[in-house]
Amino acid sequence: MTDVTQELPIVVEPPPPATAGPLGWLRANLFSNVFNTILTILAAALLAVTIPPIIRWALFDAIWAAPNSRACRGAGACWAFIHEKLRFILFGTFPYEEQWRPLLAVVIFIALIVASCDRRLWGRSLAFLWLLGLVAVGVLMWGGIFGLSFVGNQLWSGLPLTLILAVVGMAFAFPLAILLALGRRSQLPAVRTICVAYIELIRGVPLITVLFMASVMLPLFLPAGMTIDKLLRAQDAIILFAAAYLAEVVRGGLQAIPKGQIEAADALGLTYWQRTRRIVLPQALALVIPPLVNTFIGTFKDTTLVIIIGLFDLLGTINAALNDANWRGTSTEAYIFAAAIYFCFCFFMSRYSQMLEREFNKGRRQ
Amino acid sequence: MPTDTIPRPTRPSPWRNPAVRSMVVQVLFVAAVLALGAFLVHNTVVNLRRQNIAGGFGFLDREAAFGIGEALIAYTPADTYARAFFVGLLNTLYVAGLGVVLATILGTVMGIARLSRNWLVSKLAQIYVETFRNIPLLLQLFFWWGLLRETAPAPRQAWQPLPDVFVSNRGIAFVVPSPDPAYGWMALAFLVGLAATIGAFRWARQRQAQTGQQFPTGWIGLGLVVGLPLAMFLLSGAPLTLDRPEMKGFNFTGGHAVSPEFAALLLGLVIYSGTFIAEIVRAGILAVSWGQTEAAMALGLHPIQRMRLIVLPQALRVIIPPMTSQYLSLTKNSSLAVAIGYPDLVSVTNTMINQTGQAVEGIAMIMAVYLTISLIISALMNVYNRSVALVER
Amino acid sequence: MTTESAGAPIIELRRLNKWYGEFHVLKDINLEVAKGERVVVCGPSGSGKSTMIRCINRLEEHQRGQIIVAGIELTSDVRNIEAIRREVGMVFQQFNLFPHLTVLQNLTLAPIWVRKLPKKEAEETARLYLDRVKIPEQADKYPGQLSGGQQQRVAIARSLCMKPEIMLFDEPTSALDPEMIKEVLDVMIELAEEGMTMVCVTHEMGFARTVADTMVFMDRGEIVERGSPKEFFADPKSDRTKLFLSQILAH
């Protein structure tokens, strides 16, 4: 016999008060069982013990302006050091009156990075924009034309140098990486062996050795009489190093292209270079954009190593600023400031890459 | 009756023959690479000769004439360069080995914390990962080094975060038990406990296969491995003399001390690598689909069984490859010691290069060492991957 | 006509209510399943039918109401939950076989670790059930090497190795290619004919007509109509039931 339960929908009831709303969230997330409750209490205790002293040190007891470190000594942070040395930290040895130029260069870089996040621009126009931006940065930093005084690249330091090393590094590493990746997958054994050897060699050694190699050995490689600028040596090292890692990322993308794509291209009569350029690479590169961004973040962090071969990037200028005898003992504050700058760049880029990855996965429901 | 023979395909002219073309391309490519190589080598030899720098590895037998701050084996400036290189190598392996162990522990704990249902714990772990992952390692090393060398007080006013642990600008000195023959016996007891545990595992597995009864081998094993040495300790009269660091003159003596350089390097490496390991562990556990856990629950397995039999075996497959790559990264990152003055391989070799001018040989030696470590780890990883690969169609 | 059962029902849902946050997903569900009864639950997606059967073995937690299985009440008490899970087998839409274990190991895992059987006995039972689902030769293969239909049959065998009193099926054929649905349904029909208590969420109406003692139609979190298949299909009383049947039986 058919049992027809209610014809009319039951009145929708609200959930029991202890299971939803803010109280319910607290219960589920912080106090769901004995173990969790203990964890919450321990974590809260840890925060209570560490956070207030840090805030006191960093904010309330901090000294914001002082002539030297002795006047700055107290229970709190000595932000006066940053205040005093800010322009040196950011722009290093660039001539003082002309420092609007590296400032503008940094702004251009940041604008380009932000613009690259807008997907509508991806493609020819973005590449063109970057080219324009890099030329503008070059003009600003070197000068010599348009009435700007010439500033040799030995004087470039601080944040602009970090950005230049990272951006130019990636820009040149990218085409090299594509060639390496294609070479590694080539059917010609000689080409494949050489590409594999290069990639595995560079990936197997620390960046510092590649920097040393560039710094010490590049001058030896050149015919007598030719010299090579220190900045160029560091830049070459970063390019060669990044290219090896990028090559592996691109190779991952190439491997993910279904064989059917290549077969279809062959069936249409395209040559190897035509199908690579028009069919395989566009798809492969689109696939690996998140890991590409991650590699850029890694390269950005790696620029700090140039301090070891005597270039003054942002970390270098901070260290140089700390050498001032008037300001002993302020290393903690200085490094926290530097960390904040690096963190802003890297965090923003990593969040962006995570967002990209989520979007790509959404479009790839198989 | 077919009288006409099957026509043979016309051989293409060499120019159009793909086999010939590929050979030509390869020959050209190799020739170009070799030519470039020859050019570079020639220039190098000429330049080195001009600067009166010797070649070859003969310098390794010469006296080093520089001191090394901390060494695991005996070393004096009168020893050879070769020995100095070896000291640096040992230092690198020591800090890398210790770093790998500590970073794994920290990373695993943080990775699991990230997955916790407790919002506070999960968020704190996330803050840790995001903060230390986005700050360059070298900067972190300088930070800790600065903290330990400049901000830390002189030994007389050393910080004391824990009883008998002193943090000063000369390093960290902490209490250790003085060596005692009983400790040798305890180590022996530990090994016996270990062997007994392994035996117990085997026996329990046999028994379970035959009768189905389970044996609490986990707890028993723990008891053996901890209890036997403890018993040995008590039997020997509980000898525990602590070697406490004490102020003598300008610094501490006694106890065990690590230099600020070593402490900063280890701290930086562990905290930085820990973030990546945390993400690897988290991704590995998330990679096991929830349906696996549900099926295990539906079958009546309880949480520890689920973790041990279902989740962990599958998660480890996803975790171990990137984990070993992270270990390699940590080892390579230890080369940053050269920036903060810890005498690792790169540091020592750098001094050697500065003294002898033989940069090419020095850098080649460093690269050879790191390459060897890389290749060994890669090979081990490939073996592991092949042995645990999931079998599919 | 419901099968007359001897004694108390083996599953009882009394005024079962569940919320996901603010969303009321199960509204005052009342259901009784007798021993040996075969219940088929159908309804549009989002009606809460999967949620309802997943509450029975605590894969989902209910906030209000009572669930009593084989005389044990389902509460937060871990012992009750484990006792109930031993007696209730579940077959999932996505099979959820353990890919790192062979088919045989999949089947013997729970009997060894939960029922504490010796290995030989567990393996004998496993081979018996593999035979019953008609794939005895796959015992040493890995799940990745089997087709979808074979995997689901292994999943059914895996649950049966625990000798449960009740079998729950959560859309067992929805993830299968059409040519493999029949082999799985055949196994389920055989199981029903042997007298297993079954609660099955499915869209396969042919199967329902063959096997079910009771049809239950759920919509928007509540049980709208229930009855014998004959009356259910021939003469549905509620408009919502009529609408659903017209949509699903159109092909």
**Residue C251 pLDDT:** 57
Amino acid at B87: V
List CB contacts (< 8 A) between B289 and chain C: 94, 96
**Residue B340 pLDDT:** 92
Out of C19, C225, C231, whose CB is closest to A20? C19
Which residues lie closer than 8 Å to A61 by C-beta, 6 or more apart?
Answer: A74, A75, A76, A77
Please give the Cα distance from B358 to B349 (Å, whole number): 10
Where is average pLDDT lowest: A314-323, B206-215, B267-276? B206-215
CA separation, residue C25 to residues A130, C17, C47, C51, C244 (Å) = 53, 8, 8, 8, 19
| Whether B139 and A201 lie within 8 Å, measured CB to CB | no
B30 contacts chain A (CB < 8 A)? yes
**Residue A119 pLDDT:** 78
List CB contacts (< 8 A) between A6 and chain C: 222, 224
Please give the Cα distance from B131 to A339 (Å, whole number): 9
The model's pLDDT over A58-72, given as tens digits with 9 standing for 90+, comes to 888 888 887 777 777
pTM, 2 dp:
0.87
Cβ atoms of A127 and A135 within 8 Å: the answer is no
Q: Which chains touch B (3 or more CB pairs under 8 A)?
A: A, C
Amino acid at B263: A
**Residue C5 pLDDT:** 46
**Residue B74 pLDDT:** 84
Using DSSP, state whether B236 is helix, strand or coil.
coil
B389 contacts chain C (CB < 8 A)? no
List CB contacts (< 8 A) between C231 and chain A: 1-2
**Residue A1 pLDDT:** 39
The model's pLDDT over B63-85, given as tens digits with 9 standing for 90+, comes to 878 888 888 888 888 888 889 99
Q: Residue C114's CB: how many other CB atoms inside 10 A?
A: 17
Closest residue, chain B, to C100 (C-alpha): B390
Q: Which whole number is the average pLDDT over B239-265?
A: 82
Q: Which whole number is the average pLDDT over B222-228?
A: 85
Instruction: Examine the predicted complex and report whether its ipTM is higher than 0.95.
Output: no
**Residue B233 pLDDT:** 82
Identify the DSSP state of B254.
S
**Residue A2 pLDDT:** 45
Amino acid at A310: G
For residue B301, pLDDT over 90 is answered with yes
List CB contacts (< 8 A) between C120 and chain B: 209-210
Residue B103 class from Cβ within 10 Å (0-12 exposed, 13-18 middle, 19+ buried)? buried
For residue B234, pLDDT over 90 is answered with no
User: What totals of helices (H) and strands (E) does chain B contain, helices first?
Assistant: 13, 8
Segment 166-185 of chain C within 8 Å of chain A by CB? none
Which residues lie closer than 8 Å to A143 by C-beta, 6 or more apart?
Answer: A98, A101, A149, A150, A151
| Whether C63 and A15 lie within 8 Å, measured CB to CB | yes
Helix (H) or strand (E) holding C214: strand C214-219
Interface test mutation site (partner B, options A304, A317, A353, max chain B beta carbons within 10 A): A304
The model's pLDDT over C170-226, given as tens digits with 9 standing for 90+, comes to 999 999 999 999 999 999 999 999 999 999 999 888 999 999 999 999 999 999 999
Q: Which chains touch C (3 or more CB pairs under 8 A)?
A: A, B
Bridge partners (DSSP) listed for residue B258:
B172
Per the document, the length of chain B is 393
Could you list the mean pLDDT of each consecutive 10-residue stretch along chain A, which spans 366 residues? 50 72 78 84 91 88 78 80 88 89 92 86 84 91 86 89 94 94 89 92 94 86 80 94 94 88 89 87 86 92 94 93 83 92 94 86 60
**Residue B251 pLDDT:** 78
**Mean of the per-residue pLDDT values of chain A:** 86
DSSP letters, C72-124, are EE-SS-HHHHHHHHHHEEEE-TT----TTS-HHHHHHHHHHHTS---HHHHHH
| Whether A329 and B346 lie within 8 Å, measured CB to CB | no
Closest residue, chain C, to A18 (C-alpha): C63
Q: How many CB pairs under 8 A join B and C?
A: 92
Please give the Cα distance from C215 to C229 (Å, whole number): 6
CA separation, residue C26 to residues A35, C41, C60, C65 (Å) = 30, 14, 11, 10
- Calculate ∠ Cα C13-C14-C18, nearest 5°: 80
Using DSSP, state whether C12 is helix, strand or coil.
strand
**Residue A22 pLDDT:** 79
Q: Which whole number is the average pLDDT over B287-305?
A: 93
Bridge partners (DSSP) listed for residue C169:
C91, C200
Cβ atoms of A83 and A64 within 8 Å: the answer is yes
B375 contacts chain A (CB < 8 A)? yes
**Residue C2 pLDDT:** 42
Among B94, B140, B73, B101, smallest CA distance to B262 is for B94
Dihedral pair phi/psi, residue B87, rounded to 5°:
-60, -45
Stretches in chain C below the pLDDT threshold 50: 1-5
**Residue A364 pLDDT:** 57
List CB contacts (< 8 A) between A209 and chain B: 335, 346, 363, 366-367, 370
